[in-house]
Amino acid sequence: MINVAVLGFGTVGSGAVEIINEKDFSKKLGEDIKVTKILDLRTFEDSPYGNLVTSDFNTILEDKSISIVVETMGGTNPAYDFTKKSLLAGKSVVTSNKELVATHGTELMQIAKDNNVCYMFEASVGGGIPIIRPLCNCLAANEIKHIMGILNGTTNYILTKMIKDGDTFENALKIAQDKGYAEKNPAADVEGTDACRKIAILASLSMGKYIDSTKIKTEGITKITLEDVKYAEKIGCNIKLIGQCKKVGDEVFAKVSPVMLPYENPLSSVEGVFNAILVNGSATGDVMFYGKGAGKLPTASAVVADVIDIVNHKGLGAPYWEDGGKLTDINPDNIKMYIRVKASAKDVAAKLFAKVSVICDSADEYVFVTDEIKEQEAENKIAEIVNSCGEDSVINKIQVAS
Amino acid sequence: MINVAVLGFGTVGSGAVEIINEKDFSKKLGEDIKVTKILDLRTFEDSPYGNLVTSDFNTILEDKSISIVVETMGGTNPAYDFTKKSLLAGKSVVTSNKELVATHGTELMQIAKDNNVCYMFEASVGGGIPIIRPLCNCLAANEIKHIMGILNGTTNYILTKMIKDGDTFENALKIAQDKGYAEKNPAADVEGTDACRKIAILASLSMGKYIDSTKIKTEGITKITLEDVKYAEKIGCNIKLIGQCKKVGDEVFAKVSPVMLPYENPLSSVEGVFNAILVNGSATGDVMFYGKGAGKLPTASAVVADVIDIVNHKGLGAPYWEDGGKLTDINPDNIKMYIRVKASAKDVAAKLFAKVSVICDSADEYVFVTDEIKEQEAENKIAEIVNSCGEDSVINKIQVAS
């Protein structure tokens, strides 16, 4: 029997307890797995697992029968402290906590390695979508050239409502909150922080070196308006919040931003709370992973897959990266840019961007898509427009993917 | 150093040799991997690996330094014999050979187990798409409820040409042959045999018991005409060749057939030679895997991932199923059916199928989609139309997915 402790009896934690304790793994694994202790400050008298709950972490740490700890508390404190202590005590740790992995993953994986246990985090990116393990194992024969992903279901739900139903950002956010898809304070989602932590984890894994999420250029979806959505439609695109990273020599270019994706792009049709991650490998070309990026059972299922993997593989081939990844701000590839300026800035914009496809040229505004151009060059020219015509002359700008 | 032999220096085999011998795995795995012998009857004087080629399998079998054999010969003979001998000699075997896996997989996996080695076949389904390993490991916490997949790139290319460019089946097949996507004798692809072997492998794996591909009801795409494609468009669908399987109690329902997929279905927009597999798990819901289903480097990359897995995990958690899976012919779910009959059969058809959406009611033909109905009931009624109005009164019938 493998005994497991779960830290945090919230949505994901309770899902993991249900899957583990209600399923019989003995046939598949040769022995069964059971959750024997749950850490939470609350009491759960109505839950069939209420009797497993303790508020004292030390009773878990000192319980030698527990070999695997599932951490689904979220946040860095006390999750960091509990994880470190568990690993040092020779227990493997499985987590869904992207903030902790993106912040302290390098140290925690090294402690795990030094103590012959595992630190695994399949559930930290893409919820129920298998992505960490495929990156580490299935695509091991490839050099990962770039990754593009819809990594946050809340923003994708909001954008889908705007695209499909013509809801404004504010209305769509409200509906997402009413449905429980967005939190009361939606900042981490709509400002791109959550997606940023996830692309940092994927970048670190695929490059083998730690990329600091706090250094990644991140723009959320709060500036996207219904007008942008309609202009995107005119050029056959959907707007999505995209996390991307690319290998550039020894460095990594990474960013999170809204991107206009042509309908033919497989990410373009990913709707609602679904996530999808497109990985480009040197041998395999484009491979996409698609599914529910959040939710109790999908995320818990990824947590439990890690637990099973530890039992099955004794921790061989666990995810790992070293310290010292280098970020570059410079996108190595040419991009196209959708730019929307006030009519008063048209002449300046038209002079700076000579070759463009015009989407709208009205008394109010001048909207166009540039030819392929270096991202930095486009940004410089946009700064020039602002310089000449004033702070509010550029209404919006969004990368257009090919 | 891990020494590998490759059987068959064709497209996939030569790709595997290139990836293995041109990449340095020592940092990732602690030791490097090299192909030291290649079995082929031909000689390859221009290849840098020509000196590794032997035509005598016994020199590989008796070479104790070789611990992993990659079989990319295709067909069951002599691949079956060579695989069996290799496993009995204590060598792990990795294959891309779906025919062999679908035919003799049960026996070969058992021999592997008995000899503490592995028989692995990630490349046998979906080419470069990771699917076997995710099914075995990443989704291990789930009960797999059903699988639907576009499993054959050749037929998907042909259907895409028909849908996008209005090419007839014959023209599209000719173009596919000219481009090297279809073989001179395209029967295994266009008649669905290839897709059928792949869905049999996925069904066996996800149910844990062997499903015999030769017993699966299989219909190819040879009867699909441009008219069907246009009617599908009218109801917002693309026609795709779909392999599907569903768990029904202790039995499995499986079939291969063309299906009309609404544009919202994530499989509907999978175009050209791409493959995609939608897996529905009890906890994770729908998860989709997408990528190139064939080609030298994508398929070779899946082969090499298996080789790395054997080195990394010492064969723990290799795919496995027992003998004795039971197939049922009866689809447990209600389906909708697109039915196209000659105008002369309209009255009979309209009487048998009372509740329908009519797509076309012309002097030539009567085309409709049924309401939800048991598949068997629809088939019985279609048989009645044929009985009353003659063999050629039913022009075509295709399942419509929701």
Is residue B305 in a domain?
Answer: no
* Residue B239 shares a structural domain with residue B363: no
- CA A163, chain centre distance (Å): 22
* Residue A211 shares a structural domain with residue A286: yes
Query: What's the average model confidence in pLDDT over A78-100?
Result: 97
* Residue A33 shares a structural domain with residue A13: yes
* Residue A61 shares a structural domain with residue A182: no
Domain ranges, residue B273: 132-293
Q: Which pLDDT score, from 0 to 100, does residue A140 have?
A: 85
* Residue A97 shares a structural domain with residue A155: no
Q: Which pLDDT score, from 0 to 100, does residue B138 have?
A: 85
**Please, what is the average pLDDT of chain A?**
95
* Residue B38 shares a structural domain with residue B72: yes
CB distance A292–B314 less than 8 Å? no
Residue A30 pLDDT level (bands cut at 50, 70, 90): confident
For an interface test with B, the pick among A287, A308, A322 (most B C-beta atoms closer than 10 Å) comes out as A287
Last residue of a domain, one of A293, A321, A353: A293
Tens digit of each residue's pLDDT (9 = 90 or more) over B241-273: 999 999 999 999 999 999 999 998 999 999 999
Is residue B125 in a domain?
Answer: no
Report chain A residues whose CB lies below 8 A from the CB of B271. 264
Residue type, A131: I
* Residue A146 shares a structural domain with residue A280: yes
Is residue B113 in a domain?
Answer: yes
Q: Nearest residue on chain B to A24, judged by CA atoms?
A: B141
* Residue A303 shares a structural domain with residue A393: no
Report chain A residues whose CB lies below 8 A from the CB of B283. 15, 19, 128, 297-298, 300-301, 304
The answer to whether B368 and B378 have CB atoms below 8 angstroms apart is no
Q: What ipTM was reported for this prediction?
A: 0.90
3-state DSSP assignment of residue A154: helix
Report chain A residues whose CB lies below 8 A from the CB of B137. 133, 305, 308-309, 312
Q: Nearest Cβ partner of A284 from B264, B301, B308?
A: B301
Indicate if the pLDDT at residue A18 is higher than 80: yes
Report chain B residues whose CB lies below 8 A from the CB of A26. none
The answer to whether B65 and B34 have CB atoms below 8 angstroms apart is no
Q: Nearest Cβ partner of A305 from B139, B276, B304?
A: B139
Q: Which pLDDT score, from 0 to 100, does residue B27 have?
A: 84
Query: What's the average model confidence in pLDDT over A4-15?
Result: 96
* Residue A88 shares a structural domain with residue A20: yes
Q: Which pLDDT score, from 0 to 100, does residue B402 have?
A: 84
CB distance B283–A298 less than 8 Å? yes
Domain of B235, CATH number, reads: 3.30.360.10
Length of chain A equals 402
Is residue A59 in a domain?
Answer: yes
Q: C-alpha angle B160/B162/B163, rounded to 5°?
A: 65
What whole-number distance in Å separates Cα of residue B15 and Cα of residue B20? 9
Domain of A390, CATH number, reads: 3.30.70.260
Is residue B303 in a domain?
Answer: no
The answer to whether B106 and B113 have CB atoms below 8 angstroms apart is no
Is residue B326 in a domain?
Answer: no
Tens digit of each residue's pLDDT (9 = 90 or more) over B124-138: 999 999 999 999 888
Query: What's the average model confidence in pLDDT over A115-125?
Result: 96
Number of domains in chain B: 3
CB distance A316–B317 less than 8 Å? no
Q: Nearest residue on chain B to A313, judged by CA atoms?
A: B316
Q: Where do the H-state alpha helices sit in B179-314?
A: 187-190, 193-207, 226-234, 296-313
* Residue A136 shares a structural domain with residue A232: yes
- Is B198 known to be catalytic? yes
Q: Which pLDDT score, from 0 to 100, does residue A314 have?
A: 75
Query: What's the average model confidence in pLDDT over A5-32?
Result: 94
Residue A312 pLDDT level (bands cut at 50, 70, 90): confident
* Residue A283 shares a structural domain with residue A309: no
Indicate if the pLDDT at residue A260 is higher than 90: yes
Indicate if the pLDDT at residue B30 is higher than 90: no
Indicate if the pLDDT at residue B315 is higher than 80: no
Q: Which pLDDT score, from 0 to 100, does residue B8 have?
A: 97
Residue B165 pLDDT level (bands cut at 50, 70, 90): very high
* Residue B150 shares a structural domain with residue B283: yes
What whole-number distance in Å separates Cα of residue A118 and Cα of residue A70? 12
For an interface test with A, the pick among B280, B284, B314, B322 (most A C-beta atoms closer than 10 Å) comes out as B284
Is residue B298 in a domain?
Answer: no
Tens digit of each residue's pLDDT (9 = 90 or more) over A123-141: 999 999 999 999 988 888 8
Pair of tokens at residue B262: 């609404």
Tens digit of each residue's pLDDT (9 = 90 or more) over B177-211: 999 889 899 999 999 999 999 999 999 999 999 99
Q: Nearest Cβ partner of A130 from B128, B138, B305?
A: B138
Residue with tokens 């259907």: B159
The answer to whether A182 and A194 have CB atoms below 8 angstroms apart is no
Pair of tokens at residue B144: 């797999």
Domain of A65, CATH number, reads: 3.40.50.720
Query: What's the average model confidence in pLDDT over A29-51?
Result: 95
Is residue A328 in a domain?
Answer: no
Tens digit of each residue's pLDDT (9 = 90 or more) over B220-249: 999 999 999 999 999 999 999 999 999 999
Spot the catalytic one: A198, A209, A336, A381. A198
- The number of C-beta contacts closer than 8 angstroms across A and B is 173
Residue type, B349: A
Q: Nearest residue on chain A to B317, judged by CA atoms?
A: A312
The answer to whether A102 and A125 have CB atoms below 8 angstroms apart is no
Spot the catalytic one: B161, B198, B255, B397. B198
Report the share of chain B in percent with pLDDT over 70: 100
Indicate if the pLDDT at residue A316 is higher than 80: no
3-state DSSP assignment of residue A185: coil
